[in-house]
Structure 1
């Protein structure tokens, strides 16, 4: 174990150092307390082995890769793996061209818990030396980047109302309708962007992920699925309210969210969906809701979060447990397959890593994955920049309000980009 005098400085230098490798995964809880987290920060750098896979047999490849590499592994699962889980397809625009699945076994791993730092490497002393020798990152002057929407405001509202028509007819009950904001020929410094984003919008599942010039720069507040011993934990988010500067008004916003019929409705429907998904991996009778309609406050927003747990069936692999619940219900809706089919029809771009998950497998056979939301995706080769935001459409949803919620979720990223 290593201890340092200035932990925030060490974390920044460690991220700078890690970002020079072709494969980097930085996961930061930003000080949020969580009974299911194993550490405050994880930093993986360099790839001893890696897996790149696309829809077809990606989960089978991941299963074998995990068997071959039973220690630490980090990576991501793209939303469009749904096409492997169900009989679905994706034909929408894809400017990023990311793979559907990528994992790597790190050469170096740094785990920070409270004031203790553990360096797992063949050369831990050399790693520490290289990190402490890092010079302070110089903020690079960057021209403001304006993200273009795939939908105009009127088009989004019209489409949301058409989706409500499907709900009125009973085709679906609740869905997540997403839109992409994008920029072409965009030149950004991903490290500087992430550092600023993590300051503007610190969240418990923030992530800086890099592989071969592609980046996922995230400020996610949501856990998709974790395993602790024989227990699976999912914490879907449905329900959002803006933070306000005035203390009394901010508290009132929390209470309004806590009692809002539409927000409660969408949350409980997704909780039911997650409960149903978990039954596929659970010992009979063990699925339960530990917390329903919990209100959690972040720097930009208040969120309604529920916690659903179960005991894992004996003999079921971690990869199979993830596949049984993928994609996460908070990003699909109910019924799941019908919602995914309809959103492929109404949305105008491929979700890709957005609505997917980033996380890790650990040597003790546990895992933890977030939901890739509030995240900027960047392909530095073709200089394509992408940000998605979504809103829950229910029978009681007001389309104009859902559009404004998308902009609220985009606020932190827009602010860092200097976007109008």
Structure 2
């Protein structure tokens, strides 16, 4: 058992931003991560997290589980696709006992682990064979870390709480000095060559037609088919994140640095939220492109709300979310039905499905993963067809990233509108929900609509 008694200190940060804090700390601590939110509805519950000094890691790569403990003990274990990953994860998390002084008077979360599950990790939760055809974007299927130091910024009242989970007050004082320094190291960013893709437009349209055929046959009601893009670059990819958070503000903004690769994005959609035995899924399906004219966009929003094809697609995924939650929850209901939400480049239909956990188990994570909005319905058959028709394994795309609490909280975003940086290449991916009424050319355009903010961020990043 690893016992910790955390210490904390509050400071005012009215002249400092979470981004500037991250830029200062990443020079001193490797593998620092940043989580933010532009959810204006949250107000006084809006927090940004900067986590540094990962003292323990849990990760799975090519079915090898590696655990690096705080005392430098390293354990490895060979897993099969039938292994109970959540049992392994729960056993790992049970090794930590963290007592917090700051918890009583604050609403933020820190007592837990931060990390991600790639789409490819679904092989541990469902009987779906994941191909091993990488586009150069292969990463560990699952990666979580326990961070010694965490800075929590309340962006509503400009107050930061500096926390050392290991009780190191000297480290807190050191971090405060770093945060208050005036110097920030910034580096430029430059695009190299043209944007690449693993599919030509006509090849994607051909794949969509195959999906439509399966919908007509009744094999699936909907299937989400996607394509990859890659962009070579030189310099600092954090410039892309800075532009992306400005161009496409979203409820989930994140930048996770793992040294040999980085994952960052601006996701509009939660994979799963669990708090106080209440579970939530927020299906997003139904997409129209924005024009830049607010009046025209308002008219398009009304058209989207009334569109038969988009509504049919959306309700399939709401039903799927209800079914997923019903496996572990009671009193499952749709709390919000087809709300219109505006983003920088698209308009979405968004619902909220909730349930009350019968008894807490991390099995709820697997039973709701991946999101139906990234796979289709019925989910199992849709995933089998995705493996059949998409040329490469999805890697990070469609996975989930966020926080798992020792007290059973869970909050993860779906990795969409996101980048993976590896070997001086930025990978991005987007898909379209294919149904029997789909027009292949419209589905192709939907992909370009969804990556619009990402491409703009790439272009604008050169200006920093």
State the 1:188 CA deviation: 4.1
Deviation track 1:334-359 (CA, whole Å, cap 9, x = no partner) reads 11111001011111121111100001
Cα contact 1:53–1:61 (8 A) shared by 2: no
1:385 to 2:426 alignment: yes
| RMSD between superposed Cα atoms in Å | 1.9
Matched, 1:347 2:390: yes
Measured after TM superposition, the shift of residue 302 of structure 1 is 1.6
Offset, 1:79? 0.7
Map of 1:183-332 to 2, 5 A cutoff? 183=231, 186-283=233-330, 286-314=331-359, 316-317=360-361, 319-332=362-375
Q: CA deviation at 1:226?
A: 0.6
| 2:443 partner SS | helix
> Does 1:182 find its partner at 2:240?
no
CA distance in 1: counterparts of 2:22 and 2:192, whole angstroms? 24
Find the partner of 1:52 among 34, 59, 71.
59
> 1:31·1:40 contact (CA, 8 Å) conserved in 2?
no
Give the Cα separation in 2 of the matches to 1:202 and 1:31: 8
Question: Does residue 1:4 correspond to 2:13, yes or no?
Answer: yes
Q: CA deviation at 1:320?
A: 1.6
CA distance in 1, matches of 2:309, 2:198: 26
List alignment gaps of at least 5 residues for structure 2.
1-9, 64-79, 98-110
What aligned pairs does 1:110-125 form with structure 2 within 5 A after superposition?
110-113=151-154, 114-115=156-157, 116-121=159-164, 122=168, 123-125=171-173
Which sections of structure 1, spanning at least 5 residues, go unmatched? Answer: none
Q: For the Cα contact (< 8 Å) 2:189–2:234, is it kept in 1?
A: no
For the structure 1 residues 44 and 84, does the alpha-carbon distance in structure 2 shift closer, same or farther, using more than 3 Å as the test? same
CA–CA distance in 1 between the matches of 2:251 and 2:142?
23
- Within the candidate set 149, 155, 163, 2:211 is matched to 163
* In 1, Cα distance between equivalents of 2:193 and 2:262: 17
Cα deviation code 1:301-353 (max 9, x no counterpart): 22111100000112x32x22211211111111111111001011111121111
Q: Distance in 2 between matches of 1:192 and 1:28?
A: 16
Report the CA distance between 1:363 and its aligned residue.
4.7
Distance 2:182 2:324 in 1: 45
Matched length: 409
What secondary structure is seen at the aligned counterpart in 2 of 1:147? strand
Contact 1:235 1:305 in 2 (8 A): yes
Is the CA contact (8 Å cut-off) linking 1:19 and 1:210 kept in structure 2? no
- The structure-2 alpha-carbon separation of the partners of 1:134 and 1:174, relative to structure 1 and needing over 3 Å to count, comes to farther
Which position in structure 1 is the counterpart of 2:400?
A: 357
Q: Say yes or no: does 1:64 pair with 2:91.
A: yes
**Is 1:17–2:62 an aligned residue pair?**
no
> CA separation of 1:141/1:171 partners in 2, compared to 1, >3 Å: closer, same or farther?
closer
Residues 352 and 12 of structure 1: CA distance in aligned 2, closer, same or farther (over 3 Å):
same
The structure richer in strand per residue is: 2
Q: Are residues 1:87 and 2:127 paired?
A: yes
Q: Is the 8 A contact 1:46 1:107 kept in 2?
A: yes
The alpha carbon displacement at 1:415 in A equals: 1.7
- Contact 1:144 / 1:418 at 8 angstroms: preserved in 2? no
Of residues 118, 140, 149, the one that matches 1:108 is 149
Give how far 1:367 is off. 1.6
Larger-Rg structure: 2
Deviation of 1:130 after TM superposition, in Å, equals 0.7
1:142 pairs with one of 179, 184, 190: 190
SS in 2 for 1:287: strand
| Cα gap change, 1:66 to 1:363, in 2 (>3 Å) | closer
Tell me the alpha carbon deviations over residues 21-62 of structure 1, each in whole angstroms, 9 at most, x when there is no partner.
332331111243249x95421221120111111443333322
Q: CA deviation at 1:145?
A: 4.8
State the 1:223 CA deviation.
Answer: 0.6
Q: Which residue of 2 aligns with 1:397?
A: 438
Helix, strand or coil at the partner of 1:87:
coil
CA contact (8 A) 1:53 1:100 kept: yes
Mapped contact 1:375–1:387 kept (Cα < 8 A)? yes
Q: C-alpha deviations, 1:359-406, integer Å up to 9, x for none?
A: 102354312000000111011xx3343111101001111110111111
CA distance in 1: counterparts of 2:447 and 2:421, whole angstroms: 20
Tell me the alpha carbon deviations over residues 233-291 of structure 1, each in whole angstroms, 9 at most, x when there is no partner.
111111112222222101111111111111111111011111111111113xx110101
